[in-house]
Structure 1
Amino acid sequence: MNKKLLGLTLAAVMLLVPAFTGCSSGSKAATEDALADGVLSVAVDDTYLPMEFRDDQNQLVGFDVDFAKALGDALGVSVEFKTVAWDGIFNGLNAKQYDAIISSTSITPERQKSFSMTDPYVANGIVIVSRKDATPVKTFKELDGKTLGAQIQTTADIAAGKLKEQQSVNVEIKEYDGMLDAFAALQGKQIDNVITDVGVAMYYVAQNPDLFVVSSDVLTNEPIGITSRLEDKTTTTKFNEAIKKLQDNGKLTEISMKWFGTDMTKDIDTKLSVVE
């Protein structure tokens, strides 16, 4: 091939490149503002009561679901939900299968390095839950010789593994795909304790006050935020403005009272204390 023909061929290829870059099956093209098309595509793990789960009619409900809908109203966009297993939810975000994760995602220093995370919209930390018919576990060290259930790849699961090493605790950690399975195992005495987010723990205890008790203090401080791709800074700015609006107009308080019976959306401690 002569140089002139080679140059024309390369030029033609370069013209074609923009037509194919930034496109993926089932997702919108990458933009600085993921809300530009008027649609917010949100990923949730629908097994995490009371944050996001399926009711008796198989409808998607929960704190984060109500929050995401209120967020969409505040932003003037429609909201589409995509249910995704937790262990693949961050990979799906990076693959542009959706715009954001609104699924009880704890803000941690490690996640802040890899993703764009908003200001917190609800307080959070991890706690240990015991059965009422057993000796309550108040500290992680008291798990020595016991079995502990956690949802796989959550911050509670990660913290449990780290604390086991750091404190030399002989605890067997059993990982579950969802907290429904973990609490079913706790009720069935297949495990001795569960470690999970405080809001989740409070919900299960409220639903089963004769079975479960939150037995430990809150072990970490890891408030919950919206997760976007690292490059979507414009989207995160808009999210923060909408969160502030929902805090100021009382909508977040209303949603919190509905699901927790207390307001976990004001005066949130933003100083992170995370076991990673």
Structure 2
Amino acid sequence: MRNFKKAIVSLVMIIFTVALFTGCGNNSGNETQNSLEKVKKAGVLKIGLEDSFPPMEFRDSKNVLQGFDVDMANAIGEKLGVKTEFVGTEFNGIVLALKSGKFDVIISGLSIDEDRKKEIDFSEPYIENSQIIITKVENDTIKTSKDLEGKIVGVGLGTTSEKVAKELTGLKEVKKYDKTTEELQDLLIGRIDAVIVDEPVGKYYISADDKKGKYTVLNEKLTSEPMGIGFRKGDKELEEAVQRAVNELKEDGTMSKISAKWFGEDIYK
């Protein structure tokens, strides 16, 4: 009888445990499936970004967040009928933060590459990006990537710039930075010889009034890597809604206006 009672208790515990884990699994799936519904219900789209990547996203002298991605994200929010909330995040941990639910999407100059596609989903590309080399204007010894042999090169920690630098042979050192502004400043004061960075950043810095005549952007493009909006795996409803919004912004000319504002040209022609 005692053994029978034990068997009944064990069976009940097994059923309870199975039901508990099944319920947890279903809730997890529903969270992803219903994220668009949650965004609309809350009236807020939370966006993860790293705020020192001009002209994509950065803070001005008054600490106001601005940039191409910021303007695009706000326009997407308007299309969805919700407010936008920007969540500052170190770029090296931005994918993990998305997966953990810290925010709904990544809009932060995020390059689409195969490693990231294993972790998250992407929108269609909204910018065709590439990695370029920046040197100090006085340095005429570096003309191409081959001239980086024996040199110290700065890259963004966790970025595709870091991956590109690792593939180059003969570098003396690859120095990693949390913020693009820091590596460009180190370049000016001579702590490093060159910076590998996304093309929009290079173009922005050589055109800014206080940076003119200080940097040289080499003609060589090291990669072709389009930028996209990042989503949690399987978050299809939100992804489709955001993609529709971006398509509409291209069609109504909003993306062209944002491009002209930050790049000085319409990249969507």
Where does residue 83 of structure 1 map in the other structure? Answer: 88
Secondary structure class of the residue paired with 2:118: helix
Mapping for residues 181-192 of structure 1, pairs under 5 Å: 181-192=182-193
Superposed CA RMSD in Å reads 2.2
The answer as to 2:142 corresponding to 1:137 is yes
Change (3 A) 1:88 1:23: farther
- Give the share of equivalent positions with the same residue, in percent: 34
Aligned to 2:6: 2
Q: TM-score, normalised by structure 1?
A: 0.86
TM-score, with length taken from structure 2: 0.88
Does the CA-based 8 Å contact 1:43-1:89 persist in structure 2?
yes
Q: Which runs of structure 2 are paired with 1:45-84 in the superposition (5 Å)?
A: 45-84=50-89
Aligned with residue 238 of structure 1, among 238, 241, 260: 241
- Structure 2 distance, partners of 1:206, 1:136, is 23
CA contact (8 A) 2:95 2:120 kept: no
Which blocks of at least 5 consecutive residues in structure 1 are unaligned?
A: 268-276
- CA drift at 1:138: 3.0
Q: Distance in 2 between matches of 1:146 and 1:160?
A: 11
How far did 1:19 drift?
7.0
- Change in 2 beyond 3 A, CA 1:220/1:105: same
- Greater C-alpha radius of gyration: 2
Contact 2:111/2:228 (8 A) holds in 1: yes
- The number of equivalent residue pairs is 259
Higher helix share: 2
Q: How does 1:199-210 map to 2 (within 5 A)?
A: 199-207=200-208, 208-210=211-213
> Following the alignment from structure 1 to structure 2, what is the Cα–Cα distance between the partners of residues 186 and 225?
28
Unaligned segments of structure 2, at least 5 residues: none
Q: Which amino acid letter does the alignment assign opposite residue 5 of structure 1?
A: V
22 and 198 in structure 1: CA distance in 2 versus 1, 3 angstrom threshold = farther
What SS does structure 2 have at the residue aligned with 1:30? helix
User: Paired residue for 1:102?
Assistant: 107
Task: Give the C-alpha shift of residue 20 in structure 1.
Answer: 6.0
1:247 paired with 2:222, answer: no
The residue aligned with 1:162 is 167
Structure 1, 154-163 or 106-115: larger mean CA deviation: 106-115
